[in-house]
């Protein structure tokens, strides 16, 4: 049985989506970079072990990364999932978990990497926005893409309304990507990911609002 460690920094809504998805395998632990993260209480309510590696307790990124890696490795997970984890991880850390470190990003990568994705999408006047689950690489928000979901940008959208619709899709596609990993259905080389095995319920791009 494969196991998963989830990294959070805040409320952990994507963490909760993973917990409630009935994934194959087990969630070994939820680790937060902030002691007061709301997601810790949610994890505890589901009987999941929680740990804290307080980012403020370390003098630099390398020291924090080393402490975080030690906590993760003590759980011996097959997969590490970033779920609202608000820390940039160093290349040594990322390389340590090559091929088993996932993230969900609130844009249709490679568009709008980094922060403030919804505001930037509105500013640029795009008609379609969305979210992406990808393998993490040292280049921020540029890892091999596993699955994406698209939403239509409406004329009266604000950053809040657009973010809310995108978050709904994050909750949909992140558990799907993790499930595929747990079922050994993901294969990637260079910058391309293929999903093997049984049907993928319509492939790896969801666009619920565009096919009404």
Q: Which two tokens mark 142?
A: 């540029």
Distance separating alpha carbons of residues 81 and 104, to the nearest angstrom = 9
Residue 45 CA neighbour count, 13 Å, CB half: 9
Distance separating alpha carbons of residues 1 and 16, to the nearest angstrom = 21
Distance separating alpha carbons of residues 110 and 34, to the nearest angstrom = 29
Distance separating alpha carbons of residues 183 and 177, to the nearest angstrom = 10
Look at the block and give the residue holding tokens 């890696």.
Answer: 69
Select from 207, 122, 208 the least CA-distant residue to 157: 122
Catalytic residue ranges: 105
Distance separating alpha carbons of residues 191 and 94, to the nearest angstrom = 16
Residues of 50-62 as b/e, b for ≥16 C-beta within 10 angstroms?
Answer: bbbbebeeeeeee
Q: Which two tokens mark 131?
A: 């979210």
């Amino acid at each position: 049985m494969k196991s998963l460690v989830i990294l959070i920094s805040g409320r952990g809504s994507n963490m909760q989506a993973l917990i409630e998805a009935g994934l194959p395998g087990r969630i070994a632990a939820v680790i937060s970079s902030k002691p007061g993260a709301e997601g810790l209480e949610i994890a505890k309510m589901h009987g999941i072990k929680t740990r804290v590696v307080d980012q403020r307790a370390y003098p630099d990124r390398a020291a924090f990364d080393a402490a975080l890696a030690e906590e993760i490795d003590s759980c011996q997970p097959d997969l590490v999932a970033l779920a609202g984890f608000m820390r940039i991880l160093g290349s040594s850390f990322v390389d340590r978990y090559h091929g088993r470190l996932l993230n969900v990003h609130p844009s249709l990568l490679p568009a709008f990497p980094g922060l403030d994705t919804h505001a930037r999408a509105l500013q640029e006047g795009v008609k379609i926005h969305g979210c992406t689950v990808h393998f993490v690489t040292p280049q921020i928000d540029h890892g091999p893409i596993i699955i994406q979901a698209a939403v239509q940008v409406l004329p009266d959208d604000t950053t809040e309304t657009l973010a809310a619709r995108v978050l709904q899709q994050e909750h949909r596609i992140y558990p799907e990507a993790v499930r595929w990993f747990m079922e050994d259905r993901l294969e990637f080389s260079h910058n391309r990911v293929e999903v093997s095995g049984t049907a993928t319920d319509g492939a790896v791009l969801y666009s619920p609002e565009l096919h009404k």
